[in-house]
């Protein structure tokens, strides 16, 4: 960037001041001590001929073309009300060009909430920079008196710096950000961006902020405690807070920990962006300059919410309910007595207010409106938010708010385990925009209202709004609860089996067959069935649930069974299902696993009901979990373990939708059993990598199957769908066609709005899948590489083959236990189960 008069000393002294009357060209980029600038003596450059009119009275000017920076007095809304500010201007031949209304763009102001009629700025002989209105008292100061300041500099990047005689900054405007970050600016721990209340009202600051804290970057409402609507959690090393920050570098909001740039990318931004601003609507927008039209355009909306605009806290004002179609309503405008009124009838998005304000002196006249399918941004957008009360019923949740004076609303979120009535409860001390969205129907809102004393004790008429579907669900929960309690009187017999002397070390328990019969109520509650055997629900003596897998036809395997159990039992990873125990007694071979409340992944991704459809974040997290689990098996545990049967039926979900890989290690067991048909080919057709037919098997076969599962998760389509016409039956074939036509976005689950909103990320996930499906196994990435890609530390290569060359099968020796494996010429094997789900 060219600097104005960069060859000259570029300083300004008092004697030059008079020259301001002659023109703007003399604004310099630096200034020395003992200088005073009065707005009244600086001529102004006005922009535009409509209103609002902007004008700049420059003191320091730096740069040429766009962006150039002017530090001086700026008026935005009224010709006589000035801020001392830094703004981006367009200069042509060292003069501010006023042809374009796109300027000035204020990126920092000293007196943002206190505009002045006749401001005067002084750089005192002691080195303090002070701002006064006319002859008034000091309204703002950098407090740098006596700190050896020798001058003032406006840098190329728009930073106003007071420096000492070693040229070291003593004070800089970058350390006091307003609502914007310009290219090159940092946000260190403790700093934040705060917008004004509206585009036209500069006198007050919003409660919104983008705050950098020692736990991450959070877009939030600055209440106590803060209400976060966009969290980016970061594990900072325990180093000086100043060395941990994000910086707006060209094209990226980059993360620096311990002053070292971490990873290649943190948040990507179009590289033409020149500044970004947190705006009064909660959006963080990056702006680029359109040199054809000489206008600013939004290059990116950076913190994109999962729930569209409804996910922003101020979209419908306080107490306003945001619905899928973008409307704002008040909590009780559906009939009956209105507790809330719109702040402005013509502008529903300005929110609602309580007709009778809440008063803790009249607790007996307070009640809680129950509103079904109502949710709130804090927990909906932050899977890691901690509830105020965990594992409570909705009645507990409502009571907790009723009894707590500072609570204005409570939200009860059903646990994802529909077999339990335990849920999470969130209490709010301030209520911003609420959400009533189809995809968020698992929570109930309780809004506290004050009845005027004469209508006290009113019944809760809005309870009826709670849908009947919800009602019946709770009935179901109660029935299940009763069943659960009645099956508690079970015992675990945890004794040694005298048949075998081999001991399995570690935490793995040995069960007798009789004890497992008791635990599973004589194998009565079947959870699933498959080629390896059937899986039953059981409850241990301590009340914890387990899944008991009865392996079929392995009765004669003894020593190797114990060896494998030892291996499986010694593997512990959050993304692998834990083996709790086993049983080997005469011909019985059983494995006892931790219970996974949400069952297998196939139930969730191919589910037709949108009520249970997983959102993008959940799907992404599941993919990430599977990758971590497989990475552990392949690369991190003591012995490399190939799974050989990755498919949705073998991915299980816990109550929080954390995914865990199941049935690892079992393939090995089967392998030892030469009587099985799977010796030549094992796994599930369709998920099998091409090299099964010829080459040696490596861990890359799991990578291939993983790729197939990713396709299924992102498209929400089964690998084989016989309800489609023949060319659309086989998902990998459909994928190949879409990829070759360049229409990967057509492949994404089109029933989920959330998936469509996250299309770019979903398409990138499909590129990862394509990488995993490369016909040549050596071109497939390792699981650790995939984890790195998912972490944003690596990119998918561009030279992917979309052929996936899967040679048609002419014959196979593989046979399903019950049925013949059919095959069609155009597609590989059709899905029949060779080895079963749990
Ligand atoms: C301003 O400071 C520079 C050095 O930083 C010096 O050369 C110049 O003489 C100073 N001007 C005045 C007016 O003090
Ligand atoms: C810059 O100024 C010159 C001379 O005033 C003018 O001819 C030119 O059009 C200006 N450039 C732009 C982009 O406005
Ligand atoms: C200067 O000090 C005053 C009083 O301590 C404080 O209110 C003000 O925020 C400080 N100014 C700056 C720019 O930090
Ligand atoms: C002022 O800032 C410019 C541009 O960032 C820089 O080149 C120059 O050295 C600075 N001058 C002083 C005196 O710090
Ligand atoms: C600006 O907003 C504040 C706080 O919301 C309000 O008190 C003030 O009246 C507003 N000013 C204008 C000019 O609208
Ligand atoms: C920063 O880098 C280190 C080492 O590369 C890594 O362990 C850590 O997770 C990274 N932190 C973030 C927030 O990416
Ligand atoms: C921070 O960086 C310094 C210098 O590079 C290094 O000595 C120190 O170990 C680092 N600290 C942490 C916690 O990474
Ligand atoms: C982090 O550093 C501070 C001081 O630098 C020290 O007091 C504290 O114990 C450290 N914490 C940890 C977890 O290392
Ligand atoms: C960083 O700042 C946080 C508060 O913002 C403080 O709790 C923490 O101790 C600081 N850490 C260091 C190493 O200074
Ligand atoms: C940012 O990078 C792009 C390409 O990498 C380049 O075209 C552009 O000029 C850069 N912008 C700035 C302000 O450096
Ligand atoms: C939830 O509460 C129930 C009953 O109060 C209790 O049995 C159960 O262990 C709790 N679960 C958790 C995870 O705290
Ligand atoms: C009362 O409610 C506030 C939020 O409104 C919550 O932060 C606080 O923990 C609650 N107090 C108790 C004792 O539950």
From residue 411, alpha-carbon distances to 356, 380, 402, 433 in Å are 22, 11, 12, 13
From residue 66, alpha-carbon distances to 3, 95, 743 in Å are 12, 12, 37
Cα–Cα distance for residue pair 711/766, rounded to 1 Å:
7
Atom 3 of ligand 6, residue of closest alpha carbon: 262
Q: Are 230 and 381 in contact (CB under 8 A)?
A: yes
pLDDT value for 337? 66
Q: DSSP per residue over 445-495, as a string?
A: EEEEEE--GGGTT---GGGGGS-HHHHHHHHHHHHHHHHHHHT--------
Cα–Cα distance for residue pair 32/153, rounded to 1 Å:
9
Residues of the chain with pLDDT under 50: 1-26, 333, 454-506, 672-681, 694, 806-838
Atom 14 of ligand 6, residue of closest alpha carbon: 262
Minimum-distance ligand 4 atom for the alpha carbon of 151: 13
CA 342 to ligand 5 centroid distance, Å = 18
Ligand showing the shortest atom-to-Cα distance for residue 138: 3
Q: Are 397 and 407 in contact (CB under 8 A)?
A: no
pLDDT value for 333? 45
Which of 224, 407, 447, when mutated, tests ligand 12's pocket best, judged by the most ligand atoms within 8 Å of its CB? Answer: 407
Ligand showing the shortest atom-to-Cα distance for residue 235: 6
Looking up tokens 């993304």 gives: 575
Which of 30, 67, 153, when mutated, tests ligand 4's pocket best, judged by the most ligand atoms within 8 Å of its CB? Answer: 153
pLDDT value for 589? 87
pLDDT value for 8? 29
Q: Are 425 and 409 in contact (CB under 8 A)?
A: no
Nearest 5°: the CA angle 570, 573, 575 is: 135
Burial class (CB in 10 A: 0-12, 13-18, 19+), 411: buried
- Based on DSSP, count helices (H) and strands (E) in the chain, helices before strands: 13, 46
Burial class (CB in 10 A: 0-12, 13-18, 19+), 459: exposed
Looking up tokens 């139930």 gives: 603
The string over 588-624, giving b where at least 16 C-beta atoms fall within 10 Å of a residue's C-beta and e elsewhere, is ebbbbbbbbbbbbbbebbeeeeeeebbbbebbbbbbb
Q: Are 802 and 732 in contact (CB under 8 A)?
A: no
Ligand 3 proximity of 472 Cβ (cutoff 6 Å):
no
Q: Give the residues surrounding ligand 7 with Cβ less than 6 Å away.
A: 237-239, 258
CA 155 to ligand 10 centroid distance, Å = 19
Looking up tokens 């403790």 gives: 190
CA 123 to ligand 6 centroid distance, Å = 43
Atom 3 of ligand 4, residue of closest alpha carbon: 155
Atom 3 of ligand 2, residue of closest alpha carbon: 92
Q: Give the residues surrounding ligand 1 with Cβ less than 6 Å away.
A: 9, 11, 13, 32, 151
Q: Mapping DSSP to helix (H, G, I), strand (E, B) and coil, where does residue 708 land?
A: helix
* CATH code, residues 1-176: 2.90.10.10
pLDDT value for 713? 94
CA 271 to ligand 10 centroid distance, Å = 6
The pLDDT tens digits for 453-496 are 544 333 333 333 333 334 344 444 443 433 333 333 332 333 33
Ligand 6 proximity of 257 Cβ (cutoff 6 Å):
yes
pLDDT value for 361? 80
CA 837 to ligand 11 centroid distance, Å = 29
Ligand 12 proximity of 562 Cβ (cutoff 6 Å):
no
Ligand 10 proximity of 219 Cβ (cutoff 6 Å):
no
Minimum-distance ligand 12 atom for the alpha carbon of 225: 7
Atom 1 of ligand 1, residue of closest alpha carbon: 32
Minimum-distance ligand 12 atom for the alpha carbon of 400: 14
Q: Is 603 annotated as a binding residue?
A: no
Which tokens in the block code for residue 709?
Answer: 């599962």
Atom 6 of ligand 12, residue of closest alpha carbon: 427
The strand order across the sheet containing 119-123 reads 35-38, 119-123, 129-133, 138-141
The pLDDT tens digits for 156-177 are 999 999 999 999 999 999 999 9
The pLDDT tens digits for 189-198 are 999 999 998 8
CA 55 to ligand 10 centroid distance, Å = 29
Cα dihedral 671, 673, 679, 683 in deg (nearest 10): -60
The pLDDT tens digits for 643-687 are 888 999 889 999 888 999 998 877 665 554 433 323 334 556 667
The catalytic residue among 156, 332, 645, 749 is 645
332: which DSSP letter? T
Q: DSSP per residue over 232-282, as a string?
A: EE----SS-GGG-EEEEETTEEEEEETTEE-SS-SEE--TTEEEEEE-TTS
Ramachandran region, residue 715 (left: φ > 0; alpha: ψ -120 to 50; beta: rest):
alpha
Q: Are 229 and 377 in contact (CB under 8 A)?
A: yes
Which of 24, 68, 92, when mutated, tests ligand 2's pocket best, judged by the most ligand atoms within 8 Å of its CB? Answer: 92
602-834 adopts what CATH topology?
Answer: Transferase(Phosphotransferase); domain 1 (1.10.510)
Cα–Cα distance for residue pair 351/372, rounded to 1 Å:
20
HSE-CB for 773 with a 13 A CA cutoff = 26
Cα–Cα distance for residue pair 698/684, rounded to 1 Å:
16
605: which DSSP letter? H
CA 237 to ligand 6 centroid distance, Å = 9
Cα–Cα distance for residue pair 439/753, rounded to 1 Å:
9
Q: Are 698 and 614 in contact (CB under 8 A)?
A: no
The strand order across the sheet containing 366-371 reads 366-371, 443-450, 409-414, 423-428, 389-392
497-594 adopts what CATH topology?
Answer: Phosphorylase Kinase; domain 1 (3.30.200)
Q: Residue 33 phi/psi, 5° resolution?
A: -70, 165
Q: Is 645 a catalytic residue?
A: yes
Which of 10, 11, 35, when mutated, tests ligand 1's pocket best, judged by the most ligand atoms within 8 Å of its CB? Answer: 11
Q: Are 175 and 191 in contact (CB under 8 A)?
A: yes
pLDDT value for 408? 95
Atom 2 of ligand 3, residue of closest alpha carbon: 143
Cα–Cα distance for residue pair 566/662, rounded to 1 Å:
16
CA 354 to ligand 5 centroid distance, Å = 20
């Amino acid at each position: 960037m060219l600097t104005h008069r960069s060859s000259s000393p570029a300083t300004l002294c008092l004697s030059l001041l008079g020259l301001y009357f002659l023109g703007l060209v003399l604004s310099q980029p630096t200034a020395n001590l003992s200088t005073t600038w009065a707005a009244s003596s600086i001529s102004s450059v006005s922009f535009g001929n409509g209103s609002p009119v902007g004008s700049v009275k420059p003191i320091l000017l730096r740069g040429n073309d766009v962006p150039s920076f002017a530090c001086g007095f700026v008026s935005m809304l009224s010709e006589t009300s000035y801020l001392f500010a830094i703004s981006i201007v367009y200069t042509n031949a060292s003069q501010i060009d006023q042809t374009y209304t796109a300027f000035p763009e204020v990126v920092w102001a000293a007196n943002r909430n206190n505009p002045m009629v006749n401001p005067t700025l002084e750089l005192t002989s002691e080195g303090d920079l002070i701002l006064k209105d006319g002859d008034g008292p000091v309204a703002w100061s950098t407090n740098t008196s006596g700190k050896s300041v020798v001058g003032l500099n406006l840098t190329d990047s728009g930073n106003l710096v007071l420096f000492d005689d070693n040229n070291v900054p003593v004070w800089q405007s970058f350390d006091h950000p307003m609502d914007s970050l310009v290219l090159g600016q940092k946000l260190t721990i403790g700093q934040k961006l705060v917008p004004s209340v509206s585009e036209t009202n500069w006198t007050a600051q919003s409660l919104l902020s983008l705050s950098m804290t020692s736990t991450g970057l959070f877009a939030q409402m600055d209440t106590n405690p803060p209400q976060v609507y966009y969290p980016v959690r970061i594990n900072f090393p325990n180093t000086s807070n100043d060395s941990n920050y994000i910086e707006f570098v060209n094209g990226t909001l980059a993360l620096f920990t311990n002053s070292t740039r971490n990873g290649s990318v943190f948040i990507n931004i179009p590289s033409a962006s020149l500044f970004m601003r947190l705006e009064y609507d909660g959006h963080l927008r990056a702006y680029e300059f359109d040199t054809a039209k000489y206008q600013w355009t939004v290059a990116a909306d950076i913190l994109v919410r999962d729930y569209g605009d409804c996910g922003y806290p101020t979209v419908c004002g306080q107490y306003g309910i945001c619905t899928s179609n973008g409307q704002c309503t008040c909590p009780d405008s559906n009939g009956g007595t209105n507790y809330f009124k719109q702040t402005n009838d013509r502008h529903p998005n300005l929110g609602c207010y309580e007709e009778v304000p809440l008063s803790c002196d009249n607790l007996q006249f307070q009640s809680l409106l129950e509103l079904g399918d109502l949710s709130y941004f804090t927990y909906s957008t932050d899977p890691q938010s901690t509830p105020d009360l965990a594992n409570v019923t909705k009645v507990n949740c409502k009571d907790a708010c009723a009894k707590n004076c500072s609570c204005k609303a409570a939200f009860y979120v059903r646990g994802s385990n529909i077999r339990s009535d335990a849920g999470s409860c969130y209490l709010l001390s301030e209520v911003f925009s609420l959400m009533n969205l189809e995809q968020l129907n698992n929570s109930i809102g309780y809004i506290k209202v004050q009845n005027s004393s004469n209508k006290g004790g009113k019944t809760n008429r809005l309870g009826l709004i709670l849908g009947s579907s919800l009602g019946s669900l709770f009935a179901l929960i109660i029935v299940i609860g009763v069943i659960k309690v009645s099956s508690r009187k079970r015992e675990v017999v945890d004794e040694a089996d005298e048949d075998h002397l081999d001991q399995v070390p570690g935490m793995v328990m040995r069960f007798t067959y009789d004890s497992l019969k008791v635990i599973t109520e004589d194998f009565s509650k079947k959870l699933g069935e498959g080629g390896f055997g059937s899986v039953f629900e059981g409850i241990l003596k301590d009340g914890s649930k387990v899944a008991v897998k009865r392996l079929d036809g392995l009765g004669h395997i003894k020593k190797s069974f114990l060896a494998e159990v030892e291996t499986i039992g010694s593997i512990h990873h959050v993304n692998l299902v834990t083996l709790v125990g086993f049983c080997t007694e005469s011909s019985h071979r059983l494995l006892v696993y931790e219970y996974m409340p949400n069952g297998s992944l196939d139930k969730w991704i191919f589910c037709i009901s949108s009520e249970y459809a997983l959102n993008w974040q959940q799907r992404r997290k599941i993919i990430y979990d599977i990758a971590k689990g497989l990475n552990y098996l392949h690369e991190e545990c003591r012995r490399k373990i190939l799974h050989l049967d990755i498919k949705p039926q073998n991915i299980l979900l816990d109550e929080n939708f954390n995914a865990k890989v199941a049935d690892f290690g079992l393939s090995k067991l089967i392998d030892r059993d030469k009587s099985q048909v799977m010796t030549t080919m094992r796994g599930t057709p369709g998920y099998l990598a091409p090299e099964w037919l010829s080459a040696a098997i490596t861990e890359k076969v799991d990578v291939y199957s993983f790729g197939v599962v990713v396709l299924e998760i992102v498209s929400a389509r089964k690998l084989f769908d016989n309800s489609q016409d023949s060319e659309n039956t086989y998902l990998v074939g459909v994928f190949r066609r879409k990829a070759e036509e360049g229409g990967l976005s057509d492949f994404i689950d089109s029933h989920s709005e959330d998936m469509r909103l996250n299309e770019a990320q979903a398409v990138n996930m499909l590129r990862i899948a394509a990488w995993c499906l490369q016909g040549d196994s050596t071109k497939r990435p390792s699981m650790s590489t995939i984890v790195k890609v998912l972490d944003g530390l690596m990119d998918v290569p561009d030279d992917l083959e979309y052929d996936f060359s899967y040679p048609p099968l002419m014959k196979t020796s593989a046979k399903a236990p019950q049925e013949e494996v059919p095959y069609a010429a155009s597609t590989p094997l059709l899905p029949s189960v060779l080895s079963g789900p749990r």
